[in-house]
Amino acid sequence: MQKKVPERTCIVCRKKGEKENFIKIVCNKNNEIHVEKDKKLDGRGAYICKNPECIKKCIKQKSLSRVFKRNVDESVYEEFENEFSAKQN
Ligand SMILES: [Zn+2]
């Protein structure tokens, strides 16, 4: 039996795809927002595709604040940006 792959939707462009193509941002029980890296994080997740345009738009439009309905610290966006540029090298 084939395993069903859950689809994720980019919060910026609304494109759907497999989770490997997305960066996951998690808001945990303490309302701390982190970029999910190697370790799995608990909490509400938002997905953004690994597309420089979406990353830029997300940071510019503060999309995370909208999705999590809270103020997202600038450092989260920085972490996000750094994490993404690191992966490209
Ligand atoms: Zn996207």
Instruction: Kindly give the distance from the C-alpha atom of residue 46 to the centroid of ligand 1, in angstroms, as a whole number.
Output: 11
Scored b (16 or more CB within 10 A) or e, 16-48 reads eeeeeebbbbbbeeeeebbbbeeeebebeebbb
Could you give the CA distance from residue 79 to residue 17 in angstroms, rounded to a whole number? Answer: 23
Q: What is the distance in A from the centroid of ligand 1 to the CA of 2?
A: 27
Residue type, 44: R
Ligand 1 centre and the CA of 30: distance in Å? Answer: 27
- What confidence score (pLDDT) does residue 68 get? 94
Does residue 88 or residue 18 have the better pLDDT? 18
Q: What is the pLDDT of residue 5?
A: 74
pTM, rounded to two decimals: 0.81
What digits encode the pLDDT tens for the residues 6-39? Answer: 899 999 999 999 988 999 999 999 989 988 888 8
Please give the distance, rounded to the nearest whole angstrom, from the Cα atom of residue 27 to the centre of ligand 1.
19
Q: What is the mean pLDDT of the chain?
A: 88
pLDDT of 61 over the 90 cut? yes
Residue ranges of domains in the chain, CATH in brackets: 7-88 (3.30.1230.10)
Partner residues linked to 68 by β-bridges: none
